[in-house]
Amino acid sequence: MPNERRASFHRIAVVLATFLVAACVMATGACAPQRLPEETPVPSPTSTMKPPPPTPTPIPTPTPSCALEPVGEFREAWNLEDLGCPEDEEKVIWCAWQEFEHGYMLWRIDNRKIYAFSLEGADGGSWQEYDDTWADGKYPIDIDPSIVPPSEDMKQPKRGFGLVWREQLGGPESDIGWARMEETGLCAVIQPFEKGVMFRYNAEEHSDDVVEECRLSLLPDDLILTVYRPLEDTRVAMILYYADNSWHSYK
């Protein structure tokens, strides 16, 4: 009997211990279901592209106004962007003019300059400006007798024109070729601009007043203009540009 009693007590003790262990585990949460660790969210990649800058509102460019503007024929042919504003009013100035095979030559009494115009196309080309170094007595003759024109209708330019033609332009080999007429005087209308010059000659507008104004442009040591006959068959209307030394005729 004592052995059976001890075995019974032993079983009771085992059951009680098992119960106590189970109760302890449940109290401490060791038997509770484990929660899976939450995943740390991965941030979405941020775009490195910058938004385009705002388009600026264009500011209109103001149209410049000129204190002086051309009138009449020059007004109709004037382009502000190409020529700029006038630097002075148009004036009637005594000039010398000569036509060549492929161009023209012009001399102005007000600035003592000679202009050579190469004709490159129907109504334009390039131009160059030269000082007029001719002086009576400085050179023995007006032309170079060793240079002979190829025909009677071709001529060697004289005096200041001839000097520039031979020494600056290359003479007979020049771009403008031989002269086709004798040098003649013109009462031309000229107006300077910021970017060029406008020049015209029209026999129809040469009234007595215009010719008288042309007389006033003559200097004391120049030939006095006693009789002036406009060239009826000559019409000149040119615009000279400083930027590229080009010129063209206008209608």
Q: Based on the domain organization, do 10 and 76 belong to the same domain?
A: no
Say if 60 falls within a structural domain.
no
Q: Which amino acid is at 80?
A: L
**Domain coverage including residue 183:** 72-249
Say if 159 falls within a structural domain.
yes
Total tally of structural domains belonging to the chain: 2
Say if 78 falls within a structural domain.
yes
Q: Based on the domain organization, do 11 and 102 belong to the same domain?
A: no
Q: Based on the domain organization, do 16 and 129 belong to the same domain?
A: no
Q: What is the pLDDT along the chain (251 residues), one digit of tens a residue?
A: 455 555 565 566 555 556 554 554 455 554 444 555 566 665 665 556 666 777 777 665 555 589 999 999 999 999 999 999 999 999 988 899 999 999 999 999 999 999 999 999 888 999 999 999 998 888 878 899 999 999 999 999 999 999 999 999 999 999 999 999 999 888 899 999 999 999 999 877 777 777 777 776 665 555 555 556 667 777 899 999 999 999 999 97
Say if 47 falls within a structural domain.
no
Q: Based on the domain organization, do 23 and 128 belong to the same domain?
A: no
Say if 194 falls within a structural domain.
yes
pTM over 0.75: no
Q: Based on the domain organization, do 178 and 90 belong to the same domain?
A: yes
